[in-house]
Amino acid sequence: MKVTLTVIKADIGAIGGHICPSQRLLEAVDNYVTEHGAKLVVDSYLSYTGDDIAIVATHTRGANDQAVHRLCWDAFIAGTEVAKSQGLYGAGQDLLKDSFSGNVRGMGPAVAELEFEERPNEPFLFFAADKTDPGAYNFPLYMAFADPMNTPGLMLSPSMAQGFRFVIMDVSDTEGDRVIELQAPEDLYSIATLLRDPERYVVESVWSRSTDEQAAAVSTSRLHNIAGKYTGKDDPVMLVRVQKDFPATGEVLAPYAIGPFVAGAMRGSHQMPLMPVPLNSGISYFDGPPVVSCAAFAMHKGKMTEPVDAFAHPFWDTVRDNVSKKAIDMRRQGFFGAAMLPMSELEYTGIVEKLETLDRRFAVRATSRPSDALRRAGS
């Protein structure tokens, strides 16, 4: 059976600033999908990560399906009404357009979709991250799909040993989806050269070279240009199929133990370590740290099992402690250097405006340094 996995997420309002959605908001979105999606989707699952709500839907209608996208859009509209009625902060934040037009790509919500012939057993992982951007997945995807130090399957499994194809987008291009396809392991250094810069070059998908099946889909988009202006960090979702011709679940999860520094946290303008958290976790310290959750599923004929919370296991408590330490260490240096993002990535205009004002006050000295002038006069 050919199945499509669609995940669409949006921030449509939160309690206490950007912490997490309200129960009533979640119920409104869930009820809408259940009531209106019965004939459209085989199964669905709703969760939140920080202030973002994600709808995971399984169906047989293919990627970019107008009806499925509209269902999620309308569910978020219904949720936004509740958010407004409760006075939630940022009600409808990610719904950037007034009316739905075909599919939600480019309209604000994040989208990741996989279409495949279902295997007799079909394990997959659904990741959602808040207070960061799609480039946050560059590092864990490189480790899981290209690095035998992390993924022994690349040596042990003959099918995985044929490598994986990375589709990487240059998100700075304003005209269209500018992508490149690179093959691991032959193009490893080229892949590394691009993924080094996660604000510009972002993994969009990963494909098995032995079967040509898609392994991973990330909600990568030309994030700077949705709605014609910079719209923030675009908290990303991701789907990853696991086992057999794909990395094992443990190989996909392992890189998150490192807690890499990613863009995001406070005002979307800092570098902070990524913390793996249980499903339905909110946000706290410094509007962060950036968080990532993972729900593991098995699926049969499009019907999902209950989610298993991949980062709830006690192992991740130590990781969370380490990430907290890294976060506090980084915050000690406030706005200096690496703690804050470069100018092009700042989500607010304040610094740019201030620099423009200051720039007018800079002057090039008419003479050389005073000390030089004195020295010349004295000698």
Catalytic residues: 11, 230, 233
What does 224 bind: ligand 13P, Mg ion, none (CB cut-off 5 to 8 Å by kind)?
Answer: none
Query: Quick one: 37 or 268, whose CB is closer to ligand 13P?
Result: 268
Q: How far is the CB of 101 from ligand 13P (least distance, A)?
A: 23
Contact between residue 244 and residue 231 where contact means Cβ atoms under 8 Å apart: no
Q: How far is the CB of 87 from ligand 13P (least distance, A)?
A: 16
Instruction: Return the residue of 266, 308, 319, 346 that touches ligand 13P, per CB under 6 A.
Output: 266
What does 102 bind: Mg ion, ligand 13P, none (CB cut-off 5 to 8 Å by kind)?
Answer: none
From residue 267, give the alpha-carbon distance in Å to each of 54, 322, 348: 21, 23, 8
**Which residue is closest to Mg ion by CB?**
18
Query: Quick one: 52 or 122, whose CB is closer to Mg ion?
Result: 52
Pairs from 32-38 (Cβ < 8 Å, separation ≥ 24): 32/71, 32/74, 32/75, 32/78, 32/79, 33/57, 33/71, 33/72, 33/75, 36/71, 36/74, 36/75, 37/71
What does 267 bind: ligand 13P, Mg ion, none (CB cut-off 5 to 8 Å by kind)?
Answer: ligand 13P
Query: Where in 159-198 is the site for ligand 13P (CB under 6 A)?
Result: none
Distance, CA of 4 to CA of 113 (rounded, Å): 7
Distance, CA of 317 to CA of 61 (rounded, Å): 40
Instruction: Return the residue of 79, 135, 236, 268 that touches ligand 13P, per CB under 6 A.
Output: 268
Closest CA to 6 of 54, 58, 52: 58
From residue 79, give the alpha-carbon distance in Å to each of 12, 43, 226, 281: 7, 20, 22, 19
Convert residues 309-348 into a mask of x (bound to ligand 13P by CB under 6 A) and - (unbound): ----------------------------------------
Q: How far is the CB of 51 from Mg ion (least distance, A)?
A: 4
What does 152 bind: ligand 13P, Mg ion, none (CB cut-off 5 to 8 Å by kind)?
Answer: none
Query: Quick one: 95 or 248, whose CB is closer to ligand 13P?
Result: 248
User: Is 131 a residue that touches ligand 13P (CB under 6 A)?
Assistant: yes
User: Is 287 a residue that touches ligand 13P (CB under 6 A)?
Assistant: yes
Identify which range of 183-191, 194-202, 227-235, 329-337 contacts ligand 13P by CB under 6 A.
Answer: 227-235
Residues that bind Mg ion (CB under 5 A): 11, 18, 50-52, 90, 130, 235
Query: Quick one: 18 or 241, whose CB is closer to ligand 13P?
Result: 18
User: Is 248 a residue that touches ligand 13P (CB under 6 A)?
Assistant: yes
Contact between residue 122 and residue 300 where contact means Cβ atoms under 8 Å apart: yes
Distance, CA of 379 to CA of 374 (rounded, Å): 9
Q: How far is the CB of 18 from ligand 13P (least distance, A)?
A: 4
User: Is 250 a residue that touches ligand 13P (CB under 6 A)?
Assistant: yes
Q: How far is the CB of 90 from Mg ion (least distance, A)?
A: 4
Instruction: Return the residue of 13, 163, 232, 259 that touches ligand 13P, per CB under 6 A.
Output: 232
Distance, CA of 320 to CA of 304 (rounded, Å): 29
Instruction: Return the residue of 162, 211, 243, 324 that touches ligand 13P, per CB under 6 A.
Output: 243
Q: How far is the CB of 352 from ligand 13P (least distance, A)?
A: 17
Q: How far is the CB of 212 from ligand 13P (least distance, A)?
A: 20
> Which residue ranges make up the site for ligand 13P (CB under 6 A)?
11, 18, 50-51, 90, 93, 130-131, 232-233, 235, 243, 248, 250, 266-268, 287
